[in-house]
Amino acid sequence: MNTGISLAQFIAEQSAKAADQDVTDLHALLGHVATACKVIGNAVARGALTGSSGSAGTDNVQGEVQKKLDIISNEILIQQTEWNEHIAAMASEEMEDIYPMPTSRQHGKYLLVFDPLDGSSNVDVNVSVGTIFSILQSPAGKQPSAADFLQPGTAQVCAGYAVYGPSTMLVFTTGNGVHGFTLDRETGEFILTHARMTIPADTREFAINASNSRFWEAPVKRYIEECLAGTTGPRGQNFNMRWVASMVAEVHRILVRGGVFMYPKDTKDLAKAGKLRLMYEANPMSFIVEQAGGASSTGRARIMDVQPDQLHQRIPVILGSKNEVERVVRYHQETL
Does residue 267 interact with ligand AHG by CB under 6 A?
no
Binding of residue 278 to ligand AHG (CB under 6 A): no
Among 81, 114, 118, 207, binds Mn ion (CB under 5 A): 118
Q: Strand 178-184 relative to strand 189-194: parallel, antiparallel, unpaired? A: antiparallel
The full length of the chain comes to 336
- Looking at residue 280, the DSSP 8-state letter turns out to be I
Window contacting ligand AHG (CB under 6 A); options: 24-32, 97-105, 136-144, 241-249: 241-249
Q: How far is the CB of 208 from ligand AHG (least distance, A)?
A: 9
User: By C-beta, is 52 or 84 nearer to ligand AHG?
Assistant: 52
Stretch that binds Mn ion, among 44-52, 92-100, 210-218, 326-334 (CB under 5 A): 92-100
By CB under 6 A, which span of 27-35, 133-141, 197-205, 239-247 interacts with ligand AHG? 239-247
What lies within 8 Å, CB to CB, of 91 at 6+ separation is 98, 99, 111, 112, 113, 114, 146, 149, 279, 280, 311
d(CA 138, CA 99): 13
What per-residue string of b and e applies to 204-241 under the rule 16 or more CB within 10 Å gives b? Answer: bbbbbeeebeeebbebbbbbbebbeeeeeeebeeebee
Q: Is 245 in the site for ligand AHG (CB under 6 A)?
A: yes
Q: Which stretch binds ligand AHG (CB under 6 A): 22-30, 155-163, 242-250, 286-294?
A: 242-250
The whole-angstrom separation of Cα 276 and Cα 274 is 6
C-alpha distance from residue 295 to each of 51, 109, 209, 321, 327 (Å): 40, 29, 20, 7, 11
d(CA 277, CA 312): 6
**80 counts as binding ligand AHG under rule CB under 6 A:** no
- Selected from 9, 21, 121, 187, the binder of ligand AHG by CB under 6 A is 121
Question: Residue with CB nearest ligand AHG?
Answer: 247
Among 25, 118, 148, 205, indicate the residue that binds ligand AHG (CB under 6 A): 118
Residues 187-226 that bind ligand AHG (CB under 6 A): 209
Question: Cβ 214 to ligand AHG, closest distance in Å?
Answer: 14
Binding stretches for ligand AHG (CB under 6 A): 64, 93, 115, 118-121, 209, 245-247, 263, 275
